[in-house]
Structure 1
Amino acid sequence: MHLASYLGLLRDSERSLGDAFRMVAEHHQDEPDVEHLCKVLGDQATNHSGALQSVVRRYGEQADSEPQELEAAEFGGTREGGVGLLRDLQDLYALASFVDITWTVVAQAAQALRDQELLDVIDAGEQETTQQLTWLRTRIKQAAPQALIAAR
């Protein structure tokens, strides 16, 4: 069974996403909504990783360096100014999308296994990841005109 590799991928992806949200929060303190919500969403992602612990005890977990590599590729460092904020939000969106589809893959296995505990963890994680993506999409739409047209 390869579920252990995907549980490792999911936990590592959530940890990477949490770190990335916190990095953006710290770097964009001049945007109070970004700072606050990125901290909240970063903690949320880290909590998702912890919520999988009981399932990992049953199925095991294989560590995966791909999420850290993806985070490193996306976040070689945060950027400055309005365009920098826009790009940082896009990078968060890419990472959150990766997490979202990984939840979907693990959910398919949980359904096949009829594992209600795992399905409950997945349901909560998927809902919050969807909220993260929704906020990111909205904030990107808000930042784009200012960064691309109004800024000099």
Structure 2
Amino acid sequence: MSGITTTLRALHDGERDLEHALLAAAARHRAEHEFHHVALDIARWSREHAARLADAGRDHGLDLSGPRDNPASAALTALREKASEALGRRPETGLLLLHDLRDLHLAAARNSLHWEMLAQAAQATRDQGLLALVSSCHPQTLRQMRWTNTMIKVLSPQLLTSV
């Protein structure tokens, strides 16, 4: 396995993990409508990135297809939604939201670093297909990072001083 295929696999897994984490956090924080809806929207970017990375992987002899969701996933999602409704807007949920935002930011940052490594490898090997993929997807990952960072900046003062 080459460094490029290793990076493609790591980034594909990272995008799938970020999508899953965004969807889970959106379900946990249903009462925070702005967070909930934006998280669902930007989870779609990670899903699209993973699909495009799977296509690129095939060009490099890598099979990144396969099911992501397991049967327990639907039951867990329903349980998270019920817990979110029961908790509502209690102070503890604010701290959980900050915790989730931190984890989402770190996951997006990890993906951003992989996108950067892939861009450098694509430039070194003059792989125009990979370079186009990075140029298209990496800016959205950077936007995911900026969104989580902005949400942390906006929410931290109120949530951390009111608990």
Q: TM-score, normalised by structure 1?
A: 0.84
> Is it true that 1:31 corresponds to 2:32 in the alignment?
yes
- CA contact 1:25–1:34 (8 Å) conserved in 2: yes
Q: Percent identity?
A: 33
The alpha-carbon deviation at position 62 of structure 1 amounts to 7.3
CA distance in 2, matches of 1:21, 1:60: 29
> Is it true that 1:5 corresponds to 2:6 in the alignment?
yes
The alpha-carbon deviation at position 61 of structure 1 amounts to 3.1
Partner of 1:86: 98
The alpha-carbon deviation at position 93 of structure 1 amounts to 0.4
CA distance in 2, matches of 1:50, 1:139: 27
CA distance in 2, matches of 1:86, 1:103: 25
CA distance in 2, matches of 1:60, 1:37: 35
Give the superposed CA RMSD. Answer: 1.9
Would you say how many aligned residue pairs link Structure 1 and Structure 2? 138
- CA contact 1:82–1:146 (8 Å) conserved in 2: no
- CA contact 2:23–2:43 (8 Å) conserved in 1: yes
- CA contact 2:57–2:63 (8 Å) conserved in 1: no
Q: TM-score, normalised by structure 2?
A: 0.79
Unaligned runs of 5+ in 1: 64-76
Unaligned runs of 5+ in 2: 65-79, 85-91
Partner of 1:47: 48
The alpha-carbon deviation at position 53 of structure 1 amounts to 2.7
